[in-house]
Structure 1
Amino acid sequence: MKELLLHLRPEQTVLALLSDGRLEDLSVERAGEENIVGRVYKGIIRNVVPSLNGLFVDIGIGRNAFLRTKDVVSKKQAHTEGAPVLVQVEKDSTESKGPLVTEKISFAGTYAVALYGTGYIGISKKIRDEKKRDFLRRHAKEICPPGMGLVVRTAAEAAGEEDFRKDLASLSHLMEVVEKRYALEKGPALLYRDGDLAVKSLRDYMGKDIDRLLVDDHDTWLRLSRMAEDENICDPHKVVLYEEKEPLFAHFHLEEQMRQLFDRVVPLPTGGSLYIDYTEALTVIDVNSGSFKGKGIPHDQLAFLINKSAAYEIARQIRLRGIGGMIMVDFIDMEKKGEKEELIRILQAAVRDDRAKTLVLGMTSLGLVEMTRKRTTQRLWQYYFDTCPLCHGTGHILSAPAAADRILEDLENRRTRGPFKGDLEITAPPEVAALLAKAPFKERLERTAGKEVAVKENPAFTRETYTILSV
């Protein structure tokens, strides 16, 4: 049984996809921090940088976006500093980079995705009935205005002709509205934003395989029920108002599953575990057999067994955690070429249904599997955690002995500038002060200073904070 749970609070909206009670997909939208991917702006070119093969564009969000030369479509328009440009956000910003934008504009409807500035007509590969493909392509060509292309979505296979035409007409109208606003607005300006997560839950997630959508907010439930009926997206009775006293996520035991998504170590059902580490440029996943030993199973078979289990879990974890960009996976070493090729096929199949474009590029000579996943949202932990002000995201702080050594070195450096005039008072955090107040540090401090040294503690100090005063 597949269910969508839409949990709404004033500060955030969370959408969870469950398959027989197991969390399979997750999306978060915080109030005031909506995802800007998909938004269309009238931007102003601020810098043209040939060495970077791109342009920096002001879209009015405080950080310049980057437009790659290969994503420039309007060749006739002059792309010079100060010129306006119509762009859509393709990737959200990171801690060190602004968003990535493109001139290849697209709008997603219920049954098709409209493509601006092209005449291309494409049909989802999942629609295999040739008669249906021909029918959809013919009607798409009939209704598409000049300068607009379409990619027909899988949902169109079960849509009626009138519903399909209405959806395409709506996309065509949206394109016209954006063009008119682009001509009238003074840049930089926001021209179009996608629907909120509640609307996306119905439009993007509510497929034929979903049994129901549970919503725990009455007004939102009413809005989605009407939308489902008016736009014929699904049976309105599938949109259900959750009215139990127990909170929605607690009722389905989701809170513990969500907490596990912030753990570095992910246990595998067949034994072993995944270790997931993040850097600015890429995510590294290590498959570890740990202490798991299969009884009577040869090492090669055991490695393949754990790696297969890891492949399915990796696809699930990168989806749930919102991991994007480059991904490197270090599977357990296998000797047989056939097993390596089979593992790649399993991983490719596991990521096939991911809503974000995910590519498995193959295995390197060192046995590492390279993957890329389109970054459409922030990583999940960025919605719930701030970077630690003590370790600055490294996960490490100075040990007490290292902090004590640093104070001693500072004292030695100060002593080279001349003798101290009076006795000294050193204040440090409690665990560091405890070391400094006893041998051998106390003797070394007084020998270096040539004076009496009093050590005090201040619980408010961090390991890197201390004072040296002459009294």
Structure 2
Amino acid sequence: MSNELIINSTQDGERIALLQDKRLIEYHFDRNDTAYSVGDIFLGTVKKVMPGLNAAFIDIGYQKDAFLHYGDLGENYPSLTKWVKGVQSQKITVGPLKTFQFDGTLDKVGKIDSTLKKGQQMLVQIVKEPISTKGPRLSTDISMAGRYLVLVPFSNTISVSKKIVSKSERERLKRLIASIKPDNFGVIIRTVAEGREVAELDKDMQNMVEKWDKLFQTLRTAKPNDKVLGELGRTSSMLRDMLNESFDAITVDAAPMYEEMRSYLQQIAPDKLGLLKLHTGKVKVFESQGIEKQLKTLFGKTVTVPGGGYLVIEHTEALHVIDVNSGNKSNQEGDQEATALHVNLSAAREVARQLRLRDMGGIIVVDFIDMKSAESRKKVEDAVRDIMKHDKARFTILPITKFGLLQITRQRVRPVENIVTGEVCPTCGGTGKISASILVTDEIENSIEDLLVTQNQSGITLNVHPFLHAYYTKGLVSRQMKWYLKYYKWVKVMKDTSLGLTDYRIEDEHGEEIELHSAAAAMSRLQDREIEIID
């Protein structure tokens, strides 16, 4: 099974696609204007204490106050508070906690109003990004994630991921970490640490200790609402969490991002530098990898299931609903139970993929086709669990009810990814009218002749709809070749699926746009002209 990470840089941020055997299984959009990411640590100010909710609202500079529940304070909150006060008052002058005296543990069943006061400053970490009308969710259980380990200050506990099942391996990792961890720091050993040598784990540990020292230095002079320590960007954090032996390629299409990724890989996995590639082709990286087409087909309200059937996906404020339909598959098999099982098994795999792809969280209800057999229902449940075991988010799956409903709860950390798949017609711009399509080839011919002869251009590129691309490039003596024989200059013809049938764009040898014909823009100009005449 091959894994590829494809990163497309845009003006608004980075589009990140994870492909598994060329199929899209994860998609993220890391926006440039997002200043609040999971893992970021802020010096917040208590704005309001809510005893009825046993929670408080914290100001960290976001337009909506962040939410902090008493249960998210963590048992080491008194020690954290003592340390923060000591650092800001300059009484604590070193970052390591070797000589720091803990200040007891927090009462698990205490009350928020006896712990926090309005106006109090506190160190908080974002555990859930702002979703819908809600602000970020916070915790004071500070942690710093590395590739193999998670460093937890004010603790001495060493925990091992439950996914590492070998007893001997768990004991080996605990012994190794106990020998290299700093005093008064706890460690969570991640699944990817399985089988790793002490040198790799120690390097990861030192990187996290450096993060803690950076946090300490920033906190000494931090003002309320300041970001004290920023988490890695979405791209780098995906690399950190997912990079393994099955990765075949990491492709980026922007030089600055390439250098950033190269630097990060040099730090965490120098042996993986050969996987990093810079896409320099004329065709956009998402287009060349077939990702654009997958995005349009996988994020719609209706999603086709391979092997027959389709899903209808609805998003609401409270939950997500997925309806499984058999489609024309219902006519292909005589046994109704066999048909239902076949479609449901295929749908189960696609449902698990959609949850991860759209990053759907909260409550998900899947309405499978009714099955009478308990054995069939168990097979479908097992299929969902088997595929979702690769999902990094925490989830719970309940048995299928007698009504055919499967209930899933999945960790919601970020807003659900949603791509608008309905488009305004690129040819008419929603007006319902286009210029006569039969004239577009004449317009292109005139433009080419004007550029090559009158303006003496060379090395130009014509971008057109795939239908027009075939019109100009196919045949024994193509029209593209006829241009060369006529003007003694080669015109490169590229297909662009984002263009309408009667649209085209011409670029010079440096890739700069020198002519754009858009039917929508032309129709808009024509309407403006009609209005002027009427006026």
The question of whether the paired residues in 2 share the 8 Å contact of 1:348 and 1:359 is answered with no
1:250 aligned residue: 287
- 1:92-135 per-position Cα deviation (integer Å, ceiling 9, x unaligned): 22222222111222222111122344333222344455444323
The question of whether the paired residues in 2 share the 8 Å contact of 1:352 and 1:358 is answered with no
* 2:120 counterpart of 1:83: yes
The question of whether the paired residues in 1 share the 8 Å contact of 2:5 and 2:19 is answered with yes
TM-score computed with the length of structure 1 as normaliser: 0.76
The question of whether the paired residues in 2 share the 8 Å contact of 1:203 and 1:233 is answered with no
- 1:244-295 per-position Cα deviation (integer Å, ceiling 9, x unaligned): 2221111111111011233101111232211111111211111122343153
2:322 aligned residue: 285
- For 1:213, the aligned partner's letter is I
- For 2:157, the aligned partner's letter is Y
The question of whether the paired residues in 1 share the 8 Å contact of 2:41 and 2:126 is answered with yes
Distance 1:294 1:142 in 2: 65
Distance 2:142 2:150 in 1: 10
Cα–Cα, structure 1 residues 116 and 312, in superposed 2: closer, same or farther, change >3 Å?
farther
Match of 1:272 among 296, 306, 309: 309
1:31 aligned residue: 32
Please give the residue correspondences for 1:49-128 in structure 2 after superposition, counting only pairs within 5 Å: 49-73=50-74, 74=76, 76=78, 78-128=115-165
* 2:206 counterpart of 1:205: no
Report the secondary structure of 2:406's partner residue. strand
Cα–Cα, structure 1 residues 62 and 20, in superposed 2: closer, same or farther, change >3 Å?
same
Unaligned runs of 5+ in 1: 387-471
- For 1:111, the aligned partner's letter is Y
Alpha-carbon distance, 1:378 to partner:
2.0
- 1:28-49 per-position Cα deviation (integer Å, ceiling 9, x unaligned): 1122125522211121122221
Match of 1:368 among 396, 405, 408: 405
2:4 aligned residue: 3
Distance 1:139 1:71 in 2: 30
Distance 1:225 1:296 in 2: 53
Unaligned runs of 5+ in 2: 82-114, 423-535
Cα–Cα, structure 1 residues 249 and 211, in superposed 2: closer, same or farther, change >3 Å?
same
TM-score computed with the length of structure 2 as normaliser: 0.67
The question of whether the paired residues in 2 share the 8 Å contact of 1:106 and 1:114 is answered with yes
Match of 1:150 among 187, 190, 194: 187
Alpha-carbon distance, 1:159 to partner:
3.6
Identity over aligned residues, as a percent? 30
Report the secondary structure of 2:232's partner residue. coil
Cα–Cα, structure 1 residues 229 and 189, in superposed 2: closer, same or farther, change >3 Å?
closer
2:507 aligned residue: none
Cα–Cα, structure 1 residues 371 and 191, in superposed 2: closer, same or farther, change >3 Å?
same
Name the stretch that deviates more: 138-147 or 307-316.
Answer: 138-147
1:41 aligned residue: 42
The question of whether the paired residues in 1 share the 8 Å contact of 2:144 and 2:208 is answered with yes
Cα–Cα, structure 1 residues 132 and 325, in superposed 2: closer, same or farther, change >3 Å?
same
Cα–Cα, structure 1 residues 385 and 104, in superposed 2: closer, same or farther, change >3 Å?
farther
Cα–Cα, structure 1 residues 177 and 201, in superposed 2: closer, same or farther, change >3 Å?
same
Distance 1:88 1:385 in 2: 35
- 1:349-396 per-position Cα deviation (integer Å, ceiling 9, x unaligned): 2111112223223334644222122222222227x699xxxxxxxxxx
1:259 aligned residue: 296
- 1:420-454 per-position Cα deviation (integer Å, ceiling 9, x unaligned): xxxxxxxxxxxxxxxxxxxxxxxxxxxxxxxxxxx
Cα–Cα, structure 1 residues 185 and 385, in superposed 2: closer, same or farther, change >3 Å?
farther
Report the secondary structure of 1:228's partner residue. helix
- For 1:257, the aligned partner's letter is Q
Match of 1:331 among 350, 368, 383: 368
The question of whether the paired residues in 2 share the 8 Å contact of 1:358 and 1:373 is answered with yes
Report the secondary structure of 1:362's partner residue. coil
Cα–Cα, structure 1 residues 135 and 306, in superposed 2: closer, same or farther, change >3 Å?
same
Distance 2:306 2:421 in 1: 28
Name the stretch that deviates more: 181-190 or 159-168.
Answer: 181-190
The question of whether the paired residues in 2 share the 8 Å contact of 1:43 and 1:189 is answered with yes
Name the stretch that deviates more: 329-338 or 34-43.
Answer: 34-43
- For 2:201, the aligned partner's letter is F
Alpha-carbon distance, 1:75 to partner:
5.3
Q: Aligned-residue CA RMSD in angstroms?
A: 2.5
Alpha-carbon distance, 1:66 to partner:
0.9
Distance 1:222 1:96 in 2: 36
Please give the residue correspondences for 1:352-367 in structure 2 after superposition, counting only pairs within 5 Å: 352-364=389-401, 366-367=403-404
Report the secondary structure of 1:314's partner residue. helix
- 1:115-171 per-position Cα deviation (integer Å, ceiling 9, x unaligned): 344333222344455444323211212233344222222332354422210211221
Distance 2:255 2:196 in 1: 28
The question of whether the paired residues in 2 share the 8 Å contact of 1:283 and 1:326 is answered with yes
2:263 aligned residue: 226
Alpha-carbon distance, 1:8 to partner:
1.5
Report the secondary structure of 1:37's partner residue. coil
Corresponding residue pairs, total: 386
The question of whether the paired residues in 2 share the 8 Å contact of 1:114 and 1:171 is answered with yes
Distance 1:344 1:117 in 2: 41
